[in-house]
């Protein structure tokens, strides 16, 4: 069971606000290319594909790459422009053994209830030597993410997420012995004002899991900072790569 339901309200908020502009994703494109070494004919699993934003990006960035998108939430699948988007989750992937050359999981690992089972299932479907690329905010690694500056109460939610060592250990036990982690920068918004105007609580798991009063206080802090803030909002999430 995911930490939040991803019902129609959550999915609509995610679709409306969590899609980064292409020019803000340059470093992610370079990181994926470096670790995946994409070539025409390769198959990449996008697990927890949401509304298909990353699947669309990969097929645009890397011509000839075939993306297999899997998403457990019917509400998210209903809003996806990318097709086909298959139903399934980390413990039961609708794929054959050794059928993909790598896997991508973006801001999904904290929703996986059994990391060991998920790692074993990914070991089943990813060909030997293929990477699993895990983009996430991990426990204890919040300082490069603007959201937590204005909603410090949400750090306690983040600290319940799995940490880098915990995820690495689960995957090592399933047959992915090598692991590396690096922060990857992204332009999350063109300004703090844009971030404040477009913020939707339902689109962010940590914000859903703090109190209403804590959320209201964070919104006030963000709006106050937005009055004086200039320049883009640049965050860094971690990319954990196991193979």
Q: What's the average model confidence in pLDDT over 177-204?
A: 95
- Separation CA 118–CA 93 (nearest Å): 9
Percentage of the chain exceeding pLDDT 90: 88
Tens digits of residue pLDDT in 39-56: 999 999 999 999 999 999
What is the per-residue pLDDT for 15?
65
Count of residues in the chain: 243
Does the CA dihedral 28-56-11-76 come out positive or negative? Answer: negative
Judged by DSSP in three states, 146 sits in helix
The string of DSSP letters for 162-185 reads PPHHHHHHHHHHTT---EEEEEEE
- Separation CA 135–CA 25 (nearest Å): 13
Q: Would you place residue 13 in the very low, low, confident or very high pLDDT band (cuts 50, 70, 90)?
A: low
pLDDT at 67 over 90: yes
pTM (predicted TM-score): 0.93
Does the CA dihedral 28-32-34-35 come out positive or negative? Answer: positive
Tens digits of residue pLDDT in 111-133: 999 999 999 999 999 999 999 99
- Separation CA 20–CA 184 (nearest Å): 14
Q: Would you place residue 20 in the very low, low, confident or very high pLDDT band (cuts 50, 70, 90)?
A: confident
What is the per-residue pLDDT for 12?
63
**Is 6 within 8 Å of 172 (Cβ atoms)?**
no
- Separation CA 175–CA 75 (nearest Å): 33
* Assigned fold of 8-140+157-187+236-242: Rossmann fold (3.40.50)
Continuous segment of H or E residues that includes residue 58: helix 53-61
What is the per-residue pLDDT for 225?
96
pLDDT at 165 over 60: yes
Return the ∠ at Cα 165 (arms to 136 and 107), rounded to 5°.
Answer: 10
Q: Would you place residue 1 in the very low, low, confident or very high pLDDT band (cuts 50, 70, 90)?
A: very low
Q: Would you place residue 9 in the very low, low, confident or very high pLDDT band (cuts 50, 70, 90)?
A: confident
**Is 115 within 8 Å of 143 (Cβ atoms)?**
no
């Amino acid at each position: 069971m995911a930490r939040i339901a991803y019902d129609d309200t959550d999915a609509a908020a995610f679709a409306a606000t969590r899609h980064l502009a292409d020019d803000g994703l340059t470093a992610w494109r370079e990181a994926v290319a470096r670790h995946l070494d994409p070539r025409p004919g390769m198959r990449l699993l996008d697990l927890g594909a949401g509304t298909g934003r990353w699947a669309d990006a990969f097929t645009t960035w890397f011509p000839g790459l075939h993306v297999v998108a899997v998403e457990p939430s019917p509400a998210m699948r209903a809003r996806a422009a990318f097709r086909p988007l298959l139903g399934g989750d980390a413990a039961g992937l609708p794929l054959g053994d050794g059928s993909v050359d790598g896997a991508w999981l973006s801001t999904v690992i904290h929703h996986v209830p059994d990391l060991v089972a998920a790692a074993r299932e990914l070991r089943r479907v990813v060909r030997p030597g293929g990477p699993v690329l895990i983009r996430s905010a991990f426990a204890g690694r919040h300082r490069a993410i603007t959201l937590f500056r204005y909603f410090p109460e949400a750090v306690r939610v983040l600290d319940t997420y799995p940490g880098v060592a915990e995820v690495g250990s689960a995957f090592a036990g399933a047959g992915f012995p090598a692991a590396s982690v690096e922060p990857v920068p992204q332009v999350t918004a063109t300004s703090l004002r844009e971030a404040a105007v477009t913020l939707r609580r339902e689109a962010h798991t940590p914000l859903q899991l703090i109190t209403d009063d804590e959320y209201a206080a964070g919104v006030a802090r963000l709006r106050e900072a937005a009055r004086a803030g200039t320049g883009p909002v640049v965050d860094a999430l971690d990319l954990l790569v196991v193979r």
